[in-house]
Structure 1
């Protein structure tokens, strides 16, 4: 009698929104409830922000929590090695027939680490599914009470720490500067040089207990941290 092959599990990327557990979608909740293995990004200091948020919306009792470690270094080789190691940890669960849900802050298609693992595992023939979530900049706009776009007005989304902002700030329409915290002095200097300070506002840690709103960037908050988003609306 031929040995029965175990069917591979499905690798889900689940967007859980920026911080408020009430912003998890019904579909995200359903997938997290159904999967027995939850892959959770974890910092080297042991923080599991995405898991903390999800656990306030979904009962994860009895689930296997699979911590994934990702390098924050700029070195591409170090990043790639971290992605390969994380993919291997997920692969082992999938090969056992377990569906794995990987938690992602915000939306799973916007600067999401899941995409790197998805490409690796999809390339090896594993089934992958993306569950969209509320993007952080949409939550920030709602917190500020502003619309991001109007008719025929473009929207530009850039990582503020990714390079020079001069060209971005000269573009027409609304600019979203994500992950601005570590470069706040440089970002504020660029905004001032382009006469955009009074047209800009910042929210850090949107939806989290540490949330802070600054609608007057002439007096920016101190210690904005990693999750700081600036909206520049002309």
Structure 2
């Protein structure tokens, strides 16, 4: 029996209207949809996709991924998720794994893709709108200018290494690190050229167009993207 194809489908940052026509077609065609699920049961990527595609007749496979920094723990979670998907691929059913944003940028799909590639399965990546592109559009700013570099990094990186680079800096998934990010920007007198969008494209979206004028307080969402203009 021919084995199924493992698709990674980028569903964009939150607004279902930002899903590509190709993503919609792949989801309509695949009988099995694999979707990351949090401990609390939330399946955000599935919620986004369901607003653009009727998934009522699909088989939904929840995937649990550990947020632990221990690489062994993470790898074990990836293997368990791959095992849940493999059962369908071996039966000849194509599986589309949903991924927030794009499937090539800090994407969980990439870990499972490498596992299946090594085992001889066919894998296909369907790109999506990256969160930082949607954030820039929401803010009405350009990320780059002629000959200007663009640096993209997780907020957990050593901030000095990122913020001292020339050009525009994008700090993704900065929620937990937000206090440190704001402190680092203030030390560099860079708050006036820094912007933040939390939960871009989602109902709880919050926009800070100038962090020198207003900044977030209290808990900071995981999907917090900071743009620092060069």
Whether TM-score is above 0.5 comes out as yes
Are 1:182 and 2:176 an aligned pair? yes
Aligned to 1:192: 186
Partner of 1:33: 28
| TM-score after normalising by structure 1 | 0.96
* Superposition RMSD in Å: 0.7
- The equivalent of 1:227 in structure 2 is 223
Deviation digits for residues 162-194 of structure 1, max 9, x if unmatched? x31012111110000001111111001111112
Q: Within 1, Cα distance between the matches of 2:112 and 2:34?
A: 11
Match of 1:160 in 2: 155
- Could you tell me which of 102, 110, 113 is aligned with 2:105? 110
Aligned residue in 2 for 1:42: 37
Matches within 5 A, 1:1-234: 6-161=1-156, 163-218=157-212, 219-222=214-217, 223-234=219-230
Indicate the residue corresponding to 1:3 in structure 2: none
Q: Secondary structure, in 3 states, of the residue corresponding to 2:12?
A: coil
* Cα deviation code 1:10-31 (max 9, x no counterpart): 0000000000000000000000
Aligned residues: 228
TM-score calculated relative to the size of structure 2: 0.98
Q: Which runs of 4+ in 1 moved over 4 A?
A: none
Name the CA distance, whole Å, in 2 between partners of 1:37 and 1:185: 40
Range that drifts further, 198-207 or 212-221: 212-221
| Secondary structure of the corresponding residue to residue 181 of structure 1 | coil
State the alpha-carbon separation in 2 of the partners of residues 194 and 165 from structure 1. 11
- 1:186-231 deviation per Cα after TM superposition (whole angstroms, max 9, x unaligned): 0011111122111000000000001000123232122221000000
Gaps of 5+ in 1: 1-5
What displacement does 1:61 show? 1.2
Task: Report Cα offsets for 1:116-168 as digits up to 9, x if no partner.
Answer: 0000001000000000000000000000000000110000000012x310121
Q: Which runs of 5+ in 2 are unaligned?
A: none
